[in-house]
Structure 1
Amino acid sequence: MAGRAPAVLNGERPADNLARFAYRQVLGALFDRRLPLGAFVSQRDLVRLLNVPVQPLRDALKVLEAEGVVEIMPRAGIQFVKPDYEMVHNIYQFRAIIERTAARRFAETADGDSIAALIDDHRRVQSTIEQAGFDDTALSDMLRLERTLHDGMTASLRNPLVEKAAQRLKNHVILIRLDVVMTRPFALRTIAEHLAILSACAERDGDRAEAALADHFQQSLGRMVGTI
């Protein structure tokens, strides 16, 4: 009797799921600093740290190498890339290419109540930071505002390829920010830039929304570069 083919769920093999799990485990270890940026480790070290099988880990590392997160050195080890000026500049440039179009689309098509809710949310967090300072709760709120606004604009394009690219870029931004201390002035500037985008969206002004998004990324790039 011929051997049974591996089970496939939604066009995916079990090995694909394991590779994605390993991919998430590697990024998670970077995000929570179990793996420091710039670390040089062996494959054996990673298997032990992440508790994942060797082959899925190898598959995940190939993807991460293509995304610029690691450099694989045969018979030597794995070098985790530490963001430098060129990398940060390239990431923000790529984000701007995608999200300028997304900001325009969001301004033209987003539900008015959703835009108003985002504005109210930003103003609430802004008021809290102005009155109570910047603590861990405020930082959590800031990160939530970032996700909600930028993910919402990208989703308005209704393009899964763009959303996939945006997710990879977002992973890079998280890595960049690991070495950045978010301060009260940084947070308030970011919120003000977000509100400029949202104000244009509320008025259905695509030109101004796109320009405000471009300015936001330019200012963000300056804040990030200043910490490298």
Structure 2
Amino acid sequence: MAQAAETPTKLSQIAYQRFKEALFSRQIPIGATVSQGELAELLQVQTGALREAMQLLEKEGFLTVLPRSGIRIVKPDMSHLKDCFQMRRVLEGEAVRRFAERATMGELADWRARHEAIIELARGGTVESALIARSAEVDQAFHLALAESTRNPLMISAHTHMMEQIGVIRLDNMYMLSSLAIIQTMQEHLAVLATLEAQDPDAAVAAMDAHLARAMHRAMGL
């Protein structure tokens, strides 16, 4: 049987995913204004599929369609950054409380070992791409594990969206990752883990809130 042609919905999903891949790999500069044709050529997708994908991307805040002027790629400002972290503090406060109820001591020990390994590498003082990638992987995986511990699809989806928005913020040149920032992030996670090991949900919520407040300041360049 001949393979069915890809449906418009499937093609728009491809366009949607390729846009995000291009954005986070810096092929599409944040704040840039491009034409629909230029974007379709870059993503190697049909304009019809791109138009459909753009509707969702605009709702999610990744771009703005300008009538007769093209497509403006998002460039988050300080207000947007604060909004994202405010939402994360609400979501992750509940998430870390659920994680405190459900995580095993074995899981916590594994997370501690992963964080301590990153700190040891970062203390070398040189920030290389491999260290950045590995620290980002541990950071994102830890926060995702917290979100997934809620077992609430709506909260997990909202958290994923917030993490993507903050990922866009980190594409800006103002966001510079240093060995000190990596160590601080990992140590703040370890402070959260210490409260979880002590089986103290209230302290875990407070430690997570303090971590996210400091993370916001780092993202602001403070």
Band of TM-score, shorter chain: over 0.9
How far off its partner does 1:81 sit?
A: 1.5
How far off its partner does 1:15 sit?
A: 2.7
Whether the 8 Å CA contact 2:125–2:179 is kept in 1: the answer is no
Q: Deviations over 1:201-225 (max 9, x none)?
A: 1221111111111111100110111
**For the residues of structure 1 that align with 2:7 and 2:154, how far apart are their CA atoms?**
23
Whether the 8 Å CA contact 1:108–1:205 is kept in 2: the answer is no
With structure 2 as the length reference, what TM-score do the two structures score?
A: 0.92
How far off its partner does 1:42 sit?
A: 0.8
How far off its partner does 1:132 sit?
A: 5.6
How far off its partner does 1:187 sit?
A: 0.7
Corresponding pairs, count? 216
For structure 2, the 5+ residue unaligned runs are none
Query: Is 1:202 the equivalent of 2:197?
Result: yes
Aligned to 1:166, what secondary structure does the other structure show?
helix
Out of 166, 187, 190, the residue aligned to residue 192 of structure 1 is 187
Change (3 A) 1:49 1:116: same
Whether the 8 Å CA contact 1:95–1:169 is kept in 2: the answer is yes
**For the residues of structure 2 that align with 1:131 and 1:42, how far apart are their CA atoms?**
45
Q: Give runs of aligned pairs for residues 71-150 of structure 1, distance below 5 A.
A: 71-131=64-124, 133-150=126-143
Q: Kindly report structure 1 stretches of 4+ aligned residues shifted beyond 3 Å.
A: none
Q: CA RMSD in A?
A: 1.5
With structure 1 as the length reference, what TM-score do the two structures score?
A: 0.90
Aligned to 1:36, what secondary structure does the other structure show?
coil
For structure 1, the 5+ residue unaligned runs are 1-6, 8-12
How far off its partner does 1:27 sit?
A: 1.2
Name the counterpart of 1:170: 163
Q: Deviations over 1:134-183 (max 9, x none)?
A: 32221111111112100000000111111111111111111111122200
Out of 34, 43, 46, the residue aligned to residue 39 of structure 2 is 46
Query: Is 1:215 the equivalent of 2:187?
Result: no
**Stretch of structure 1 that moved more, 217-226 or 19-28:** 19-28
Whether the 8 Å CA contact 2:12–2:50 is kept in 1: the answer is yes
Paired AA for residue 137 in structure 1: A
Identity %: 32
Aligned to 2:72, what secondary structure does the other structure show?
strand
**For the residues of structure 2 that align with 1:106 and 1:74, how far apart are their CA atoms?**
46
